[in-house]
Each structure stands twice: as structure tokens, then as C-alpha cells.
Structure 1
Amino acid sequence: MKKMKQFLALLCLGIVGVLLVGCQKQSVTQKANTQDTWAKIKKRGTLLIGVDDSFVPMDFRQKNGQLVGYDVDLTKAVCKKLGLKAEFQSIDWSMKETELRNGTIDVIWNGYTRTKARTKKVAFSRVYERSGQALVVRKDSGINKFSDMKGKTLGVQQGSTAYTDLLKYPKLLKQYIKNGTPIIYNDNNSSFLDLKAGRIQGVLTGSVYAGYYATHLDKNKYKLIGLDVFPSDQVAVGMRKGDRTLLKKINWALGELQKDGTLRKINQKWLGIDDDYLGPVD
């Protein structure tokens, strides 16, 4: 009986110890999340950027292993304005907010969509890119707006956001296409092959992928229509709530890149769009 009491006492002490350690770790993490770390970042001279290095065309690796993409170019341009070196860290995308909260990265910068749920735990920069749906057509098609698709055949990927939006907002595009029904494809590549061959006259797909395809995979043969018609995702830089100085610095740098034309050049290079949209400062 005495041994049992001793065992239970030790067990209780162990549990209390684990709880205390857990609370201490949580306290340290919470403190890190509310601190303004700009002085530390400036002294280090690098900005630690969390990315998914397989996200074409935002951040992805070439055959030689080099990291390239829209956000790679934009991040380096911002860091140059801030006198910092961009240091990219490949992360598990499902753990991005945890990596940020724990301080292993300074920012999430990888086609990161600003949502109401995320703004509760992450501070966001100005929106620098709107990722919605785009109608891709051949440049020689004579199609310049959605209504020009009247009686023509549209391709869309099954289960995609583009397909969902097409059905959700039928008066935008669906009402014009042949029989009011698109051709369904298992993947975007197949739909673009049919577009190239003239078997269909348009493809509705995500604007980021569409821009990359039109600009890089089949240059100068396609154009994007209706970038601002469907509701769009708002892409921005995510950082800790406490990093108010870093937030101001990044917002300032993005504004400078808009002024000097760099933002427009990056959009043209990676997305094939002549645009330099930059959302307002909160």
C-alpha cells in the first residue's frame, strides 16, 4: 500500500512537470508571436521565407534544383529594397502557420491566400496578386470577352475551382457556351491540347496557371480574358501578429516596386498579364 502511494505521488509529480514544461513552451511561443522581431531580422541580414517548392509558378525547382518562380522574384526584389538577403526554406505547407508561430520562418510567401480565418492568427501585407479564374483563348480566335463565347465550346477541369465557379455563376460565362455545358477534362493539360488543336475554343482555369501556361509553355499563342470577372482569391505575405515593423517595411517595398514598374514586369514574366495591382494598406 505504501509503495502504491509513493508510485501515485511520483506519477502526479511527473504529470505536473510535463504540464509545466508544456505551459513554458506555450508561453515562449506566444511571446515570440507577439514580439516585433525587425531588429533581430535586420541584424541577421536575412529574411527567412517559408515556401512550398513545388507550387508552379509561384515557387518551384528547375531540373538543376534552382528555386524559381513569381514569388521568388518578388521576394528578392522586396528584400533588395529592405537591404536584406532572401533565404528560402522549404516547409510542409500544412504546418506553415506553426512554422511561423515557432519562429523557424519570418514570413509565409508562396501564393498565400488571405482569408478571414487566417487573419485571426496571421498578419497580412497588402494584397499583391488576385488569383481567380481566367478564360484562355487563342489570340487568333477573335474572342475578346465572355459573350464572344456564344455557341462556342468551353473546356474545364473536373472538380476544379473553375468548374465550381462556372456552375455557381452561370450568368457570367455558362449561359454563352454551346448547349450551356462545358467539355469536362481530367486535367488542364488535356484541355489545352484540344484548345491548341482547335477542338474547343476556350479553357476556363485558375488565372495563375493560365498565365504561366500562356507565357511559358506555349508562348504568344494565347490570351487571358475576364481576370476580374469571377470572385478572386487575395494573395499576400503572411507574418506574425507582433511583427508590425516588418509589415510596414514590406508594404512600403511593395509600393515602391509598383511605382518603379517591377511588379508589372514580374506579372508579365510569370503570369502573362499586363497588371500591377496592389491592394490598399489596412
Structure 2
Amino acid sequence: MRKIFSILVTFFIVLVMLSGCGTSKTKSPKDDSLSRIKEKGKIIVGLDDNFPPMGFRDKNNEIAGFDIDLAKEAAKRMGLNVEFKPVEWDGIILSLKNKDIDVIWNGLTITDKRKEAIGFTDAYLKNKQIIVVLSGSDIKTKKDLGGKIVGVQMGSSSEEALESDKETLKTLKQVRKYSNNTEALLDLKSGRLQAVVVDEVVGRYYISKMPNVYKILKEDFGAEEYGVGFRKEDKSFGQALDEALKAIKQDGTAEKLSKKWFGESIIEK
């Protein structure tokens, strides 16, 4: 009888232990992203530092721009410093996943494809993909792009928008891909391209600097919104960042920054 009782007790203990192991396996990992970044004391922002007016090098070789000012303001409200780290744009999501950076904050378009890989804050800026040509060009519509060489930034939403328009894409002579928009627009100016598809905020910035060189077509490749990208698992940090951005929009600070860089408010309410 004692032997049977001993066997039953042992069986019960093993059962409890196995049950505990099963529970630990299904338990989701703790999200300590906000406390981890607060402990570090700063947010590392990944960006393309040749993307005016969102983030670029000024005449003193300092990183400046709308997103730079916005990131500094958000970090300040979260009690953190901010470090800006230039990264090749076509590999920036990998840099985020590898934890080389904490966020992608540089005119990052919210797309379904990107949502599969990373998390996003709510949209903070409106944008669209415009077509820029030389001021004297006879190109007036998308149809006029047939047989022409068109430039885009590699890995950008401009590239994605152009490739999504299959009807226009199949008529093009060639699509040239560049590491940044500055190179593409310089090639357009020199005649090596006939058009560039680019974010409106970038295109209008360049045109304001050289109003007699470029012009924007009336047709575009669709509207979009900008958000800040973060790792999907960093939910507590992403939520805190979103709250800071909402406060910046609500008290009018974001609108002031928009007018400073774009001459008007293009903030997403």
C-alpha cells in the first residue's frame, strides 16, 4: 500500500512539474523596451542624412531638418537624449532589427509591406509621390514618360509606388535606382534622366532652392503618410513615443515646425 501511495505522489509531482514547464513555454516575453531605452538614456535614430528637408547635412555638416527637430522635441518630452545615426536606406529595416538603431525617423512612409516587418507610430505627416522633370521638359503626364529613363531612390516608397503602377512601368525605357534623392535630381539636371519620382516634401524643397530648374507634374503616384518605425516587440517604447508625438501635435509645436521647414502646415491631425 505504501509503495502504491509513493508511486502516486511521485506521479503527481512529475505532473505538476511538467504542467509548470508547459506554462513557461507559452508565456510571452516581458516587454521592457521603454525601461531599457530609459536606462540607456537616449534614442538612437536611424536616417538617411541626405534627405532634405527631413534629415540632411547643413553647411556646418550638422544633421538638420524637420524630422530632426521633431525627434529632439519628442525625446526631450520623454526625458531622453537623441543620437542620429546615418544608415544606408535600403538596409535600414535590417539595422533596426539588429538593434543598431532604436527607430527609423526620416520620412518613412507607412505601407502594408513595412507593417509586416516593423511597428509604426500614428501618422504625423501627409505626403505624396510626385513626378519631377526639368522646367523646359515637354513631359506633362504619366503617359509622356513612355520610352523615358526615370530615377528613384533605392528601397524608398517612391520605388514601391512606381513599381505598383504596372501600366506606367511597362512603358518606361529604364528605371535607375540611386542611394539618395540628391544624386537622382542631379542626374535629372544634367540630362541623364528625364524624370524623378520622389516624395513631395523633398521635391518641393529642391524646387524652392532652384525654382527655374525643376517643375512638378499635376499627376502623381499616390498619397501617403509618414510615421516613425520601431521594432514590433518594443510596444511599451512605441506607445510612449506615440504619446509624445500626440502631445507635440496637440499643443501646436508640430505645426510650427512644419511652417518652419515647408512654409505651411502639412501635419496629419
TM range (shorter): 0.5 to 0.7
Answer yes or no: is the 8 Å Cα contact 1:211–1:272 preserved in 2. Answer: no
- Corresponding letter in the other structure for 1:119: K
Answer yes or no: is the 8 Å Cα contact 1:132–1:207 preserved in 2. Answer: yes
**Partner deviation per Cα, 1:104-154 (whole Å, 9 max, x = no partner):** 211111111221121112011111122214699xxxxxxxxxxxxxxx984
| Structure 1 residue 101, shift from structure 2 partner | 1.4
**For 2:207 and 2:76, how far apart are their aligned partners in 1?**
29
Aligned to 2:245: 254
| Structure 1 residue 243, shift from structure 2 partner | 1.0
2:97 pairs with 1:101:
yes
**For 2:128 and 2:57, how far apart are their aligned partners in 1?**
24
**For 2:225 and 2:46, how far apart are their aligned partners in 1?**
18
For the residue of structure 2 that corresponds to 1:234, the secondary structure is strand
| Structure 1 residue 226, shift from structure 2 partner | 7.7
Alignment of 1:1-282 (within 5 A): 35-133=31-129, 154=140, 159=150, 206-213=199-206, 217=209, 231-278=222-269
Distance verdict in 2 for CA 1:191–1:75, change over 3 Å: same
Runs of at least 5 residues in structure 2 that lack an aligned partner in the other structure: 1-28, 133-137, 153-157, 169-183, 190-195
Distance verdict in 2 for CA 1:135–1:264, change over 3 Å: farther
**For 2:245 and 2:58, how far apart are their aligned partners in 1?**
26
For the residue of structure 2 that corresponds to 1:132, the secondary structure is strand
For the residue of structure 2 that corresponds to 1:233, the secondary structure is strand
**Partner deviation per Cα, 1:209-242 (whole Å, 9 max, x = no partner):** 2332365x269xxx99989x86213211111111
- Corresponding letter in the other structure for 1:71: D
- Corresponding letter in the other structure for 2:78: L
Normalising to structure 2: TM-score of the pair?
Answer: 0.61
**For 1:209 and 1:191, how far apart are their aligned partners in 2?**
15
Distance verdict in 2 for CA 1:254–1:226, change over 3 Å: farther
| Structure 1 residue 274, shift from structure 2 partner | 2.5
Aligned to 1:7: none
Answer yes or no: is the 8 Å Cα contact 1:211–1:273 preserved in 2. Answer: no
Distance verdict in 2 for CA 1:234–1:51, change over 3 Å: same
**For 2:140 and 2:217, how far apart are their aligned partners in 1?**
13
Answer yes or no: is the 8 Å Cα contact 1:122–1:241 preserved in 2. Answer: yes
Runs of at least 5 residues in structure 1 that lack an aligned partner in the other structure: 1-30, 137-151, 171-186, 193-202
Answer yes or no: is the 8 Å Cα contact 1:36–1:242 preserved in 2. Answer: no
**For 1:224 and 1:244, how far apart are their aligned partners in 2?**
39
**Partner deviation per Cα, 1:69-103 (whole Å, 9 max, x = no partner):** 12111111111111111111112222212221122
Normalising to structure 1: TM-score of the pair?
Answer: 0.59
**For 1:205 and 1:242, how far apart are their aligned partners in 2?**
31
| Structure 1 residue 35, shift from structure 2 partner | 4.3
| Structure 1 residue 271, shift from structure 2 partner | 2.4
- Corresponding letter in the other structure for 1:128: Y
Answer yes or no: is the 8 Å Cα contact 2:44–2:84 preserved in 1. Answer: yes
Identity, in percent, stands at 31
- Corresponding letter in the other structure for 2:85: Q
| Structure 1 residue 63, shift from structure 2 partner | 3.2
What is the number of residues matched between the two proteins?
213
Answer yes or no: is the 8 Å Cα contact 2:49–2:63 preserved in 1. Answer: yes
**For 1:190 and 1:52, how far apart are their aligned partners in 2?**
19
Answer yes or no: is the 8 Å Cα contact 1:51–1:109 preserved in 2. Answer: yes
Answer yes or no: is the 8 Å Cα contact 1:114–1:235 preserved in 2. Answer: yes
**Partner deviation per Cα, 1:173-226 (whole Å, 9 max, x = no partner):** xxxxxxxxxxxxxx757999xxxxxxxxxx9964112332365x269xxx9998
| Structure 1 residue 158, shift from structure 2 partner | 5.3
